[in-house]
């Protein structure tokens, strides 16, 4: 299994550390400064192909979830798109209604796999760095993440389908909602907040209470039904 580097850039780092320890992964935790370039901070810390995650994500990694290191020999970085539905012909046009939409090509650096041997130098800034790099796309189960469409645009059915993907996800990445402590009905369908409950030890009481509120709402609204649907679908696919 790949080593894990946890970038501590917020007060949620205990969630990531607790989940890493529960998974039994080999991890290192370092301080990360959001006002400084990502690659300039991260690349000097890497000696081999590494899974790099920002604090606040919860790990549920098993040996079978991550390909062997050889799978990344030709790729300097593996990364997922910022927008979950950007390759969905039916849902992608809905992004045009969002004021903060950047680009369908934008990436999410909160979860990456980096092969440092394929970086000739350390860039001064992050600007246009990835335009020059061959990238492998991280599958959704390795970064089950938030998306602005889930807040208000997608219907309950689409949100539930996406939430079912999170039932066995390797990484649960809901940082914006954990910061705010808020979730719309669709977001509670789409995100598996309930999976984070075992990893809250060490958080400040106020932070723990805010996240527990999201967990409780999810349990009340959908988690049991979502899991039953997932189990039925999994059994049907066997």
d(CA 161, CA 154): 11
Task: Report residue 51's pLDDT band, with 50, 70 and 90 as the boundaries.
Answer: very high
Task: Report residue 232's pLDDT band, with 50, 70 and 90 as the boundaries.
Answer: confident
**What pTM did the predictor assign?**
0.93
Return the number of other C-beta atoms located less than 10 Å from residue 208's C-beta: 15
CA dihedral sign, ordered 185, 183, 192, 222: negative
Are 159 and 222 spatial neighbours (Cβ–Cβ below 8 Å)? no
Of 163, 198, 231, give the one whose Cα is nearest residue 60: 198
Instruction: Give Cα 206 to chain centroid, integer Å.
Output: 23
d(CA 59, CA 135): 22
d(CA 191, CA 234): 19
Average pLDDT on 202-226 reads: 95
Domains (ranges, CATH) in the chain? Answer: 4-237 (3.90.550)
**Tens of pLDDT, residues 53-97:** 999 999 999 888 887 778 889 999 999 999 999 989 999 998 888
pLDDT value for 30: 96
């Amino acid at each position: 299994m790949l080593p894990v580097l946890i970038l501590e850039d917020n007060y949620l780092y205990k969630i990531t550390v607790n989940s890493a320890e529960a998974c039994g992964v080999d991890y290192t935790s370092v301080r990360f400064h959001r006002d400084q370039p990502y690659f300039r901070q991260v690349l000097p810390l890497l000696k081999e192909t590494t899974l790099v995650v920002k604090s606040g994500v919860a790990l549920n990694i098993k040996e079978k979830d991550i390909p062997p290191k050889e799978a990344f020999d030709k790729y300097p970085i593996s990364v997922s798109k910022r927008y979950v539905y950007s390759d969905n012909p039916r849902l992608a046009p809905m992004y045009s209604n969002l004021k903060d939409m950047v680009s369908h090509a934008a990436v999410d650096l909160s979860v990456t796999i980096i092969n440092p041997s394929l970086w000739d130098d350390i860039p001064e800034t992050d600007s246009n760095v990835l335009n020059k790099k061959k990238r492998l796309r991280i599958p959704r189960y390795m970064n089950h993440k938030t998306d602005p469409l889930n807040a208000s645009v997608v219907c309950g059915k689409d949100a539930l389908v996406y939430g079912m993907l999170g039932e066995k996800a390797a990484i649960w990445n809901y940082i914006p909602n954990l910061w705010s402590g808020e979730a719309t009905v669709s977001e509670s369908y789409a995100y598996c907040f309930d999976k984070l409950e075992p990893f809250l030890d060490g958080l400040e009481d106020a932070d723990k209470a805010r996240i527990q509120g999201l967990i409780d709402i999810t349990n009340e609204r959908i988690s049991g039904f979502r899991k039953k649907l997932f189990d039925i679908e999994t059994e049907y696919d066997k």
